[in-house]
Structure 1
Amino acid sequence: MKDLTNKLYRNHSLAYKILLFVSATFLIVYLFPKSGKFKYSFEKGKPWQSENLYAPFNFAIKKNQSEIDSEKEAVNNNAFLYFNLDSEVKPRIVSKYLEALKEVIVDSIPTSDFETITATGMRIIEELYEYGFLSEKYNFKDARNVIILEDRVEKFRTTYSNLVNQENLTTILNNALREDNLVKYKNLFASLFFDIVEPNLTYNKSFTESELNAELGKISYTRGSIAKETLIISKGEVVEGDKFQILKSLESEYESQVWNESNYYWIVFAYTLLVALALLMLLLFLRKYRLSVFEDNTKVTFIFFNILLMVLLTTLVVNYNSQYIYIVPICILPLVLKAFFDARLGMFTHVLTVLLLGLIVPNNFEYMFLQIIAGIVTILTVSELYKRANLFISVGQITLIYIVAYFAFFIIHEGSIEAMHWETFGMFILCGLATLFVQPLIYAYEKLFGLVSDVSLLELSDTNTKLLKELSNVAPGTFHHSLNVANLAEASANEIGANAMLVRVGALYHDIGKMKNPTYFTENQSTGINPHDELSSTESAKIIIDHVINGIEIARKHNLPDRVIDFIRTHHGTSMVYYFYMKEKEVNDTIVHSDFSYPGPTPFSKETAILMMCDSVEAASKSLKNPTSSKIDTFVENIINKQMVTEQFLNANITFKEIQSIKKVLKHKLANIYHLRIEYPE
């Protein structure tokens, strides 16, 4: 048991990656829609490219959306409107009318016209309440069928145009008075009827909607069926009309809920295999080509987290409405990975993620083509992400590529631009705007995962930062030396294509440990007094060597990123403090070499190797007497060759050709620094 525990402890990093791999696989599969996939690809109006297709089982032919919409519209137009009738209103209105007429007859109406007026009024009431008087005007078409309910029982049927509302009252009054030659009593009738008339019909909205939903529920979404083994389409036959609809029905049947229930575990198993293969390829890529990333569990977790995030966003959109699929800013993934790692890793991860998403999105070939092309454009165009203008320009180019590629695909599918879905272009613009969110996202990732991007490096390169200001005050010579090394290192990095911003920042901070004992370093001894004269060689060597450890402690105290601390740790590698070593050797034959050697490690990247070369060359160049071009060349060659002989670059992925290029840059820069000007006459 103890052996097993020890073995697990020794391999805890690998065990963590296996756990991460398994967890990520099951999370992605969990997020995926669990449906079967139709194994054939087809397009309307194009020939069927596969073999003759026979129905694998019995299935119904589904109506297309336009047919269903047309039937729903017909049901909506022909559905009955239901109104409740209050049968007590009409008798009450008749009674009110007769009473009101008696009150005004003495003063306003001659006795000879009373019977005519009474009869006309009764006829108007009959006309108003023949079908019913509405409580308000509704926005229904006149031809809509109406059912009048009395005590929830159908009384009669009519059309909406026959129902009277307040707006019709004046017209009915005027027509009746003209027919009976009673126009002179127009004001009398108007005042009477507008006072006494009240509605007897109210719209029964709930019952109407209930009946409408019942009718809509009767709509059949299928028309006919296809029996098993029936020939659906032959090879080379054009996919159109009924053939297209039958194929869409078969495709839908494969992805239906019935299919899910009967084959759920097989589908999950198949998805698990595909996702596991994709993630395994990513881990193998990291192990073979990005070993430093593979060995860092935080970085591997970060990459898997970003893949999961893209899958989550995409599946949420697919489940909500797949037509919004292009709003998801997939290009954030290569942007983020390029910012923290490199372009090749960003592109590889992006392609694998798009392949995974191709399993669940509609029109998967079109989707994958668009996203992979957009990812390539992202990698090629986005450089120096810390410059805001670069990001905006790159996002504009990515959006343009989306639009152009989608435009081309649409023409291939439809053969014209008449039915172009212009709103999709708006989605691409929204996707571009969402991609701009990468800046705050990078900042959040830096805090969550302890990573560092070029944006943070730019901030650290500012010589007005608190730590660099303290260095310039406490150890001005060291600060000036660091600036010179930064300039040399940046030029060298640009020459061989290394990360110039990273190596510049590393150079600025590599000697901050000298702040603890600044006067023990030559560049800070302005008074001419050397405190090493009072110490033994071993003590002096220890103080010199300790500036590396002190630098790491100061860096951690000021929360400098690990990528920057690596430069402090490695800028002397395992080299010796040669001056004090030789001084001690003169008086002591039994020297402990470790007392005069830096603890290491040696540089393990191009950038840390560049800093070691530039630091040694710049520091030693101060000892040059009467420098000439040949002296400088020999001087640079000797220093860097000695570092190579002592295997300081053994773990750095830097080539001999790149080292030669760096030597050339350093020689040129030093020649410019020590160039003698002519003496001007006074």
Structure 2
Amino acid sequence: MGKTLDNVYKHQSLAYKYFLYFVTVALIVFFFPKGGKFKYEFQKGKPWQYENLYAPIDFSIKKTNDEIADEQRSLRDNKTNYYTFDENIPANVENNIEKELRGLFTSNVFTTAQQRVILNTSLEVIDSIYTFGIFQDVPASSSVLLVRSNEARTLNSNSFIDLQKAKQKVASILANKESPARTTLENIIGQVLQVNIFYNDVLTEKVLEEELSKISYTRGNISEGRLIIAKGEVVEAENFKILNSLKEEYESELWRGNNYYFILLGYTILVALVLVMLFLFLKRYRSEIFKNNNKVTFIFVNILLMVLATTLMVKNNESYVYVVPLCILPLILKNFFDARLGLFVHVLTVLILGFVVPNSFEYIFLQIIAGIVTILTASELYKRANLFISVGQITLIYIIGYFAFHAIHEGNLENIEWILFGVFVLNGLLTLFAQPLIYMYEKVFGLISDVSLLELSDTNSKLLKELSDKAPGTFHHSLQVANLAEAAANEIGANAMLVRVGALYHDIGKMNKPTYFTENQITNVNPHDDLPPKESAKIIIDHVINGIEIARKNKLPDRIIDFLRTHHGTTLVFYFYKKQQELETEVDDKDFRYPGPIPFSRETAILMMADAVEAASKSLKSPTYIIIDEFVEKIVKGQMQANQFLNANITLKEIEMVKKVLKQKLTNIYHLRVEYPE
């Protein structure tokens, strides 16, 4: 049982990777749109490269979105407007006129016969006006139906009058009648007239929706066995529509019945193969990342996010698939790791998305080119202008690529979808979100970027300011080591910013007891003179442990703490070890050896060499080229003989390059001139 648990513990990292792998494959396949994949690739204006294609099934020719949109627009432009006739208003108007006339007749100016004529005339005018009614607003369209007594009838445009025209019509009618008090009657009728025909927007929209729902989304059928296109025939407009209709029908039919499971199996195998390639790449070329489950998880999470965003866009509106800022992926991976890994992961992600996006060849081509441009142009993201320049170049590549594909497909530059330029610009703006995303990833995954390294390299930061105040000698030593290590890192292509920051903080543990370190002793009094060698060695060794504690307290990133842990590796505190040997013959070197671990990267190896060389160089008297050369060779050779670089991925050639830089820098520090032969 105990051995079983030990094996489980030893293989838990590998087990986690298997778990992450299977979960990622399952999620990606789950995100994919539920549909099969047409087995032929075709483009408008290109020859049909396959054998003669006969219809495998009966299917309808689907109208394009533009054709459907044109039909809908035509129906809306020519829709019938419905108006409602209010039957109560004419009766109310007649009642109001009778009241007004009764008031007029009380003056006894008119005889009974005249009163009867005036009343009859007014009622005749009202009947004439309200035969068709008075519109609230005169219809702009000639297609008008008037709903009256639950019956709709068509009105002639000559019948369209509003209140103003109704008053004019009243004057015209009265002018042709022999009626007493004609002017008075015209004024009274004009005052009591009311609008009685109103626009019925509810009924109009309801009828329009019914008409829109009757639009057919197909135009004709293709019978099974009919020749669709012959080999070598150019895919033209009509054939292109038929092929697209077959593609949609074929893909929807594939997903039904037992085909569902075979399609799932196919997708799963393809996605699994792509992710296997990623694991093999990491294991072979980025072993330090492969061993770190946190970093592997980070890479897989980014792939999942890009697949999720793209598939959601495809499901909702595939025309805007380029809105998804896929170039954020190589941008972030290059920032946290390196350009080669960033591009490799980007290409694999694009291959996965090629299964689900429309025009997969065009999409894959544009995204890979954009990813390459991202890798080549995006550098030093802590400089704000660099990110804007890179995003501008990425957007330009998308636009140029779209122009090229449009010219190939259409044979001209007409019918360009200008909205896609807005899509590409939006893609660029979303790519700028990489900066805050990098910050969030640093907090979530404990990673470190160049932006954070730049902030940490500020010598006015709280921790470095404290080091400068408490241990000024150590602070200046750290600055010198940072300069040496940065130059050496640049020479061999290592992360210069990372090694510089590591050098600035590598000795912060000396703040606890600064006077026990020679660079901080400003008098001839040495506190080690009163201590036994073993205790002195413990104080010297403890500055590593103390530094780690201070770093964690101040929340320094783990990658910086690695420099504190490894800058002495497992070397001996040689001076006090020799002093102890003078006191006793048998000495346990464990009491005089740093706890380690030994350097495990090029950057930590560079710091070990630079730190040892800079510290020991203070003992040089009257240095010359030969003395400096032998001095550097001796120190680095001793570290190599102590097996301090076994775990670091640094080659002998790179070590020689580092030594060369250290010699040059020390020569500049001591202002040596060329010695001419006598």
Alpha-carbon distance in structure 2 between the residues aligned to 1:502 and 1:354: 31
* Alpha-carbon distance change, 58 to 583 in structure 1, aligned in 2, over 3 angstroms: same
Over residues 32-87 of structure 1, what are the superposed CA-to-partner deviations in whole Å (9 max), with x where a residue is unaligned?
21111222222223322222111111111112234323433444455544444343
Residues 208-217 or 376-385, more deviating: 208-217
1:611, distance to aligned residue in structure 2 (A): 0.5
2:87 equivalent in structure 1? 87
Q: Would you say the 8 A contact 1:77–1:144 is kept in 2?
A: no
Alpha-carbon distance in structure 1 between the residues aligned to 2:314 and 2:187: 64
* Alpha-carbon distance change, 133 to 277 in structure 1, aligned in 2, over 3 angstroms: same
Residue 404 of structure 1, aligned match among 381, 400, 424: 400
1:595 equivalent in structure 2? 591
In the alignment, is residue 55 of structure 1 matched against residue 52 of structure 2? no
Alpha-carbon distance in structure 1 between the residues aligned to 2:153 and 2:615: 107
Over residues 421-476 of structure 1, what are the superposed CA-to-partner deviations in whole Å (9 max), with x where a residue is unaligned?
12211221121111111111111111111111111111111111111111112211
2:165 equivalent in structure 1? 168
Residues 205-214 or 290-299, more deviating: 205-214
Residues 417-426 or 117-126, more deviating: 117-126
1:609 equivalent in structure 2? 605
* Alpha-carbon distance change, 213 to 573 in structure 1, aligned in 2, over 3 angstroms: same
2:468 equivalent in structure 1? 472
2:6 equivalent in structure 1? 6
In the alignment, is residue 583 of structure 1 matched against residue 579 of structure 2? yes
Q: Would you say the 8 A contact 2:35–2:254 is kept in 1?
A: no
Q: CA RMSD in A?
A: 2.6
The amino acid of 2:145's aligned partner reads V
Q: Would you say the 8 A contact 1:75–1:215 is kept in 2?
A: yes
1:314, distance to aligned residue in structure 2 (A): 1.7
1:263 equivalent in structure 2? 259
Q: Would you say the 8 A contact 2:163–2:194 is kept in 1?
A: no
Residue 346 of structure 2, aligned match among 340, 350, 362: 350
1:125, distance to aligned residue in structure 2 (A): 2.5
In the alignment, is residue 668 of structure 1 matched against residue 669 of structure 2? no
* Alpha-carbon distance change, 300 to 95 in structure 1, aligned in 2, over 3 angstroms: same
Over residues 382-413 of structure 1, what are the superposed CA-to-partner deviations in whole Å (9 max), with x where a residue is unaligned?
11111111111111111111111112111212
What SS is found at the alignment partner of 1:321? Answer: helix
- Give TM-score, length-normalised by structure 2: 0.93
The amino acid of 2:449's aligned partner reads S
Alpha-carbon distance in structure 2 between the residues aligned to 1:258 and 1:132: 61
Over residues 587-609 of structure 1, what are the superposed CA-to-partner deviations in whole Å (9 max), with x where a residue is unaligned?
32212122222222211111111
Q: 5 Å matches for 1:173-252?
A: 173-177=170-174, 179-180=176-177, 185=182, 188-189=184-185, 191-252=187-248
The amino acid of 1:164's aligned partner reads I
1:458 equivalent in structure 2? 454
* Alpha-carbon distance change, 196 to 262 in structure 1, aligned in 2, over 3 angstroms: farther
Alpha-carbon distance in structure 1 between the residues aligned to 2:99 and 2:173: 21
2:330 equivalent in structure 1? 334
2:147 equivalent in structure 1? 148
Alpha-carbon distance in structure 1 between the residues aligned to 2:107 and 2:490: 111
1:320, distance to aligned residue in structure 2 (A): 2.3
What SS is found at the alignment partner of 2:151? Answer: strand
In the alignment, is residue 126 of structure 1 matched against residue 127 of structure 2? yes
What SS is found at the alignment partner of 2:618? Answer: helix
Alpha-carbon distance in structure 1 between the residues aligned to 2:179 and 2:50: 84
Alpha-carbon distance in structure 1 between the residues aligned to 2:396 and 2:464: 43
Over residues 523-549 of structure 1, what are the superposed CA-to-partner deviations in whole Å (9 max), with x where a residue is unaligned?
112111112222222222222222212
Q: Would you say the 8 A contact 1:174–1:183 is kept in 2?
A: no
Alpha-carbon distance in structure 1 between the residues aligned to 2:485 and 2:312: 47
Q: Would you say the 8 A contact 1:410–1:420 is kept in 2?
A: yes
1:334, distance to aligned residue in structure 2 (A): 1.1
The amino acid of 1:128's aligned partner reads I
1:159, distance to aligned residue in structure 2 (A): 4.7
Alpha-carbon distance in structure 2 between the residues aligned to 1:513 and 1:461: 17
Alpha-carbon distance in structure 1 between the residues aligned to 2:382 and 2:345: 22
Q: Would you say the 8 A contact 1:283–1:294 is kept in 2?
A: yes
1:95, distance to aligned residue in structure 2 (A): 4.3
The amino acid of 1:466's aligned partner reads K
1:108, distance to aligned residue in structure 2 (A): 12
What SS is found at the alignment partner of 2:155? Answer: strand
Over residues 165-218 of structure 1, what are the superposed CA-to-partner deviations in whole Å (9 max), with x where a residue is unaligned?
3343234234434555999955x4553234322344344433333333223222
Alpha-carbon distance in structure 1 between the residues aligned to 2:152 and 2:382: 78
Alpha-carbon distance in structure 2 between the residues aligned to 1:350 and 1:182: 93
Structure 2: where are the runs of 5+ without partners? none
In the alignment, is residue 389 of structure 1 matched against residue 388 of structure 2? no
2:69 equivalent in structure 1? 69
Q: Would you say the 8 A contact 1:34–1:260 is kept in 2?
A: no
1:312 equivalent in structure 2? 308
The amino acid of 1:144's aligned partner reads S
2:500 equivalent in structure 1? 504
What SS is found at the alignment partner of 1:239? Answer: coil
Residue 428 of structure 1, aligned match among 416, 424, 429: 424
Number of equivalences = 673
1:22 equivalent in structure 2? 22
Alpha-carbon distance in structure 2 between the residues aligned to 1:66 and 1:180: 59
Alpha-carbon distance in structure 1 between the residues aligned to 2:432 and 2:79: 50
Q: Would you say the 8 A contact 1:142–1:159 is kept in 2?
A: no
Over residues 603-622 of structure 1, what are the superposed CA-to-partner deviations in whole Å (9 max), with x where a residue is unaligned?
11111111011101101101
2:486 equivalent in structure 1? 490
Q: Would you say the 8 A contact 1:34–1:268 is kept in 2?
A: no
Structure 1: where are the runs of 5+ without partners? none
* Alpha-carbon distance change, 87 to 262 in structure 1, aligned in 2, over 3 angstroms: farther
Alpha-carbon distance in structure 2 between the residues aligned to 1:214 and 1:157: 19
Over residues 474-506 of structure 1, what are the superposed CA-to-partner deviations in whole Å (9 max), with x where a residue is unaligned?
211111111100011111111111111100000
Alpha-carbon distance in structure 2 between the residues aligned to 1:465 and 1:538: 35
Q: Would you say the 8 A contact 2:84–2:198 is kept in 1?
A: yes
The amino acid of 1:614's aligned partner reads A
Alpha-carbon distance in structure 2 between the residues aligned to 1:252 and 1:471: 69
Alpha-carbon distance in structure 2 between the residues aligned to 1:343 and 1:440: 20
* Alpha-carbon distance change, 664 to 412 in structure 1, aligned in 2, over 3 angstroms: same
In the alignment, is residue 35 of structure 1 matched against residue 51 of structure 2? no
1:257, distance to aligned residue in structure 2 (A): 7.6
The amino acid of 2:534's aligned partner reads T
1:413 equivalent in structure 2? 409
- Give TM-score, length-normalised by structure 1: 0.92
What SS is found at the alignment partner of 2:61? Answer: strand
Residues 475-484 or 365-374, more deviating: 365-374
Q: Would you say the 8 A contact 1:584–1:591 is kept in 2?
A: yes
1:30, distance to aligned residue in structure 2 (A): 1.7
The amino acid of 1:667's aligned partner reads K
Q: 5 Å matches for 1:486-635?
A: 486-635=482-631
The amino acid of 1:620's aligned partner reads A
* Alpha-carbon distance change, 171 to 623 in structure 1, aligned in 2, over 3 angstroms: same
